[in-house]
């Protein structure tokens, strides 16, 4: 590795400058937006990989990728350029970038009319590059008071300072949510909050394995620093500044393509377990599940079929149906359809060597190729060895789509669970077809999970073009959220997993991946005890993906009814989940259309309150709900901090109002789900709902006025839950506005071309609210109904 120090200006363009570096390398600096810059280092021979699949600011990328030379989709505003003998300054209205000698970039933002430094590279060596390889490193100085977030799905605390992390997608079965690293996903983005100059993010657009050291490493010859190191690929990063962290979160989601809009039923409870499909009488087991949800009055909108349906003996063979276990596939899927339970089937991107169709696929050239021998690559997979499908080959994509269609969709299974797609191919030079231009696997390993999921999505869209598709993917890279929901993989049953999975989900949200969840109850390890299982459910209902899934050591199944002694409390939790679906659906709409994260750390909306930056177990669901799940065994009380929001918080259950900016302790029982509502919020709910569709339950507007003067609005989004053209106008957006002080006024307005399944709302008010409320000039009290058009 060589430290790069010398530079000179080689060229100037409409978007920035090009610097000449040592060894024939160049550094491109582009101004993409007022607060977004791109810095790229090229070798003398050019890009190591001249395409990207992660950057999609205006539309999805082509299958073969987007040229790294492109800045399309960005406004590329005007900037000033000041050239000196040993310095260079590029400046927009909000950000100033100074290039100094030796090579070192310093970034300033205009804050309160003055320029303040928010980031500076290490002056004693900011860039290092391999002389015989494409390995590289990039260094920033660490400043006092900085807080580091991001990196997606990482174990431990949400704030990352002082630790070292690796991006190398692994099937981390039974991981420790507090300490295991690496995990399933490749999300190389950090968000740094500075002490005085706002926040900035650095997104490295490189899919090679890499490491982030955020202060664990010390070197006597340098000031304290943080470093990104990659084993291969291109150093091509996007640096954004924002006065707050939320702006960075939205920017990251936006530049990587936004969020998929799945059907409304995806917000309901989803059942799953490996034990059902592993059983010899698997079809009977699945039928029994339908009987049990009816018997125990458990609302359920989908079921995720684990891979046992493909088995021959103990192994899994993708797109193979075990007809001994499933003697009448179509009858089974018809039964689920009749119950309104959507089936989601597990599929895997690797064929074991004894797969019945291995020879056919190998002959067609659909596998990634070995780097030294003329054969498919062979890797360990599911207690065997197999070959991974090459999703950079159009023929592989076509084969995959055909099999998703004929083996699943044509049988009435409408959705796919894209699993075990970490692509643990450790022959780094194994050859991918690359859409006609061969690529080493180590440059694009995480890309295959993204393209696999995209191929599944296209099959689903072609088969059912009128409805929005639903997909899940366990692994991924930036852009996976364009196609699928994800979750935090095969967690282990333990009390602490609830806490650290929650922080893991928040880390994903901060990194632009909003539609997330966890295996409720724990996937591997011991069967959860009743209290642990209940607390896990009570926390899981507040995440976008709510699935109870398991593969317990004792061959038991985590089922909602598994412990009769807690069944009433489980039903209460599920009732709350279904009551919240209109609110959750509105949050999903906002994540798709406005890049708003659904689950949020409390500091994201309260940066002025320093206390919210402390590690805690509370989190926000949208802007309006503060969730304070009970995560301690045997707890009889829950101490939590209410952020200073300027309006206070209502206890969702008791109707008591609390001022913000204080710590409170509330008593809890086994059935408690501590939940607080931002004063001024108006929540759309569905009391008594048993399905996630809009026609289930009584539609409610729960109004939580602020003390003193009110002037707030909330929206409720409605469509038919399925239509692909929903966002093109086939929806209804209901705006509720609350105004007034002593006398409160609630105004409702709806717009859009869709007529909801309801025409009235029931008004709910907190028990502690005594002021008069009127709608369309008519006084209303708790429980009164009002017209949607009021």
In the DSSP assignment, the letter for residue 43 is B
Alpha-carbon distances, residue 507 vs 113, 118, 191, 333, 503 (angstroms): 32, 22, 10, 36, 6
CA 509 vs. chain centroid, Å, equals 5
According to the model, what pLDDT value does residue 376 have?
98
According to the model, what pLDDT value does residue 285 have?
97
Query: Interior CA angle at 359 toward 354 and 365, to 5°?
Result: 130
The residue ranges of every structural domain in the chain are: 2-151+188-255, 599-787
Segment 3-12, tens digit of pLDDT: 999 999 999 9
In the DSSP assignment, the letter for residue 46 is B
Q: How many CB atoms are closer than 10 A to CB 45?
A: 9
Alpha-carbon distances, residue 547 vs 489, 539, 543, 585, 734 (angstroms): 12, 11, 10, 17, 29
In the DSSP assignment, the letter for residue 280 is T
| Contact status, residue 335 vs residue 318, Cβ threshold 8 Å | no
How many separate helices (H) and strands (E) can be counted in the chain?
Answer: 12, 52
**Kind and range of the H or E element at 676?**
strand 675-678
Q: Which residues contact 22 (CB under 8 A, 6 or more apart)?
A: 2, 4, 5, 6
| Contact status, residue 107 vs residue 116, Cβ threshold 8 Å | no
According to the model, what pLDDT value does residue 85 have?
85
CA 627 vs. chain centroid, Å, equals 19
Backbone angles phi, psi at 53, to 5 degrees: -120, 0
Tell me the C-alpha distance between 460 and 305, whole Å: 17
3-state secondary structure of 530: helix
In the DSSP assignment, the letter for residue 295 is H
| Contact status, residue 340 vs residue 309, Cβ threshold 8 Å | no
Same fold, 2-151+188-255 and 599-787: yes
Q: How many CB atoms are closer than 10 A to CB 244?
A: 15
According to the model, what pLDDT value does residue 573 have?
98
Within 13 Å of residue 705, how many CA atoms lie on the same side as its CB?
26
Segment 400-439, tens digit of pLDDT: 999 999 999 999 999 999 999 999 999 999 999 999 999 9
Tell me the C-alpha distance between 594 and 692, whole Å: 23
pLDDT < 50: residue spans in the chain: none
3-state secondary structure 359-417: HHHHHCCCECECCCCCCECCEEECCEEEEEECCCCHHHHHHHHHHHHHHCHHHCCCEEE
Domain spanning 2-151+188-255: which CATH class is it, in words? Answer: mainly beta
> How many residues comprise the chain?
790
**Kind and range of the H or E element at 395?**
helix 394-407
According to the model, what pLDDT value does residue 101 have?
96
| Contact status, residue 675 vs residue 628, Cβ threshold 8 Å | yes
User: Regarding the domain with residue range 599-787, which homologous superfamily does it belong to in the CATH classification?
Assistant: Golgi alpha-mannosidase II (2.60.40.1180)
Q: How many CB atoms are closer than 10 A to CB 254?
A: 18
Dihedral of CA atoms 563, 569, 571, 573 in degrees, nearest 10, equals -120
Within 13 Å of residue 149, how many CA atoms lie on the same side as its CB?
32
């Amino acid at each position: 590795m060589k430290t790069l120090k010398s530079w000179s200006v080689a060229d100037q363009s409409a978007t920035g400058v090009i610097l000449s570096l040592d060894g024939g390398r160049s550094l491109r600096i582009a101004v993409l937006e007022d607060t977004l810059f791109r810095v790229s280092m090229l070798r003398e021979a050019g890009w190591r990989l001249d395409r990207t699949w992660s950057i999609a600011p205006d539309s999805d990328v082509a299958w073969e990728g987007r040229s790294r030379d492109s800045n399309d989709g960005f406004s590329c505003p005007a900037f000033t350029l000041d050239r000196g003998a040993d310095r260079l300054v590029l400046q927009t209205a909000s950000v100033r970038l100074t290039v100094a000698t030796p090579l070192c970039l310093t970034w300033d933002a205009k804050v309160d009319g003055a320029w303040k430094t928010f980031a500076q590279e290490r002056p004693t060596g900011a860039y290092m590059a391999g002389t015989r390889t494409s390995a590289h490193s990039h260094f920033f100085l660490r400043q006092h008071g900085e807080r580091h977030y991001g990196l997606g799905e990482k174990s431990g605390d949400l704030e990352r300072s002082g630790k070292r992390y690796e991006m190398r997608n692994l099937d981390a079965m039974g991981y420790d949510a507090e300490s295991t690293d690496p995990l399933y996903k490749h999300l190389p983005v950090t968000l740094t909050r500075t002490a005085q100059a706002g926040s900035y993010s650095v997104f490295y657009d490189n899919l090679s394995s890499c490491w982030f050291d955020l202060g664990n490493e010390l070197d006597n010859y340098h000031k304290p620093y943080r470093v990104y190191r990659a084993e291969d690929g291109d150093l091509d990063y996007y640096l954004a500044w924002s006065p707050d962290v939320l702006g960075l979160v939205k920017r990251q989601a936006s530049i990587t393509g936004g969020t998929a809009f799945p059907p409304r039923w995806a917000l309901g409870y989803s059942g799953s377990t490996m034990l059902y499909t592993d059983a010899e009488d698997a079809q009977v087991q699945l039928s029994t599940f339908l009987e049990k949800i009816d018997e125990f009055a458990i609302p359920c909108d989908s079921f995720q079929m684990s891979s046992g349906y493909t088995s021959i003996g103990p192994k899994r063979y993708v797109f193979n149906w075990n007809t001994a276990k499933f003697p009448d596939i179509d009858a089974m899927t018809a039964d689920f359809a009749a119950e309104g339970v959507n089936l989601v089937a597990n599929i895997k991107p690797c064929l074991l060597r004894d797969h019945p169709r291995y020879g056919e696929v190998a002959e067609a050239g659909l596998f990634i190729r070995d780097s030294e021998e003329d054969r498919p690559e062979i890797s360990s997979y599911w207690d065997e060895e197999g070959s991974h499908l090459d999703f950079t080959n159009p023929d592989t994509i076509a084969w995959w789509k055909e099999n998703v269609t004929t083996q699943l969709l044509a049988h009435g299974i409408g959705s796919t669970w894209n699993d075990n797609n970490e692509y643990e191919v450790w022959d780094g030079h194994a050859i991918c077809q690359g859409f006609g231009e061969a690529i080493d696997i180590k440059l694009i390993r995480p890309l295959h999970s993204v393209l696999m999921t995209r191929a599944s999505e296209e099959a689903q869209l072609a088969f059912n073009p009128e409805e929005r598709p639903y997909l899940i993917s366990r692994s991924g890279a930036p852009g996976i959220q364009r196609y699928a929901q994800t979750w935090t993989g095969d967690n282990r049953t333990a009390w602490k997993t609830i806490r650290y999975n929650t922080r893991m989900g928040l880390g994903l949200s901060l990194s632009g991946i909003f539609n997330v969840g966890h295996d409720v109850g724990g996937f591997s390890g011991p069967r959860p005890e009743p209290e642990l299982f209940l607390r896990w459910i009570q926390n899981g209902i507040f995440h976008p993906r709510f699935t109870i899934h398991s593969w317990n050591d004792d061959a038991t199944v985590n089922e909602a009814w598994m412990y009769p002694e807690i069944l009433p409390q489980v039903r209460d939790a599920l009732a709350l989940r279904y009551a919240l679906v209109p609110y959750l659906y509105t949050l999903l709409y906002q994540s798709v259309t406005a890049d708003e994260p659904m689950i949020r750390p409390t500091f994201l909306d309260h940066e002025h309150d320093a206390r919210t930056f402390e590690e805690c177990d509370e989190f926000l669901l949208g802007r309006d709900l503060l969730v304070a799940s009970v995560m301690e065994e045997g707890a009889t009380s829950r101490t939590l901090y209410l952020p200073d929001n300027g309006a206070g918080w209502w206890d969702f259950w008791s109707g008591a109002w609390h001022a913000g900016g204080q710590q409170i302790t509330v008593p809890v029982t086994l059935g408690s789900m501590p939940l607080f509502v931002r004063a001024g919020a108006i929540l759309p709910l569905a009391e008594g709902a048993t399905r996630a569709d809009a026609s289930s339950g009584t539609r409610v507007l729960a109004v939580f006025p602020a003390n003193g003067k009110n002037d707030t609005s909330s929206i409720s989004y409605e469509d038919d839950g399925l239509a692909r053209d929903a966002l093109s106008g086939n929806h209804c957006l209901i705006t509720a506005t609350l105004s007034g002080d002593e006398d409160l006024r609630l105004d409702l307005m709806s717009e859009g071309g869709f007529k909801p399944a309801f025409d009235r709302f029931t008004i709910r008010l907190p028990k502690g609210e005594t002021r008069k409320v009127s709608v369309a000039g008519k006084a209303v009290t708790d429980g009164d109904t009002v017209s949607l058009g009021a």
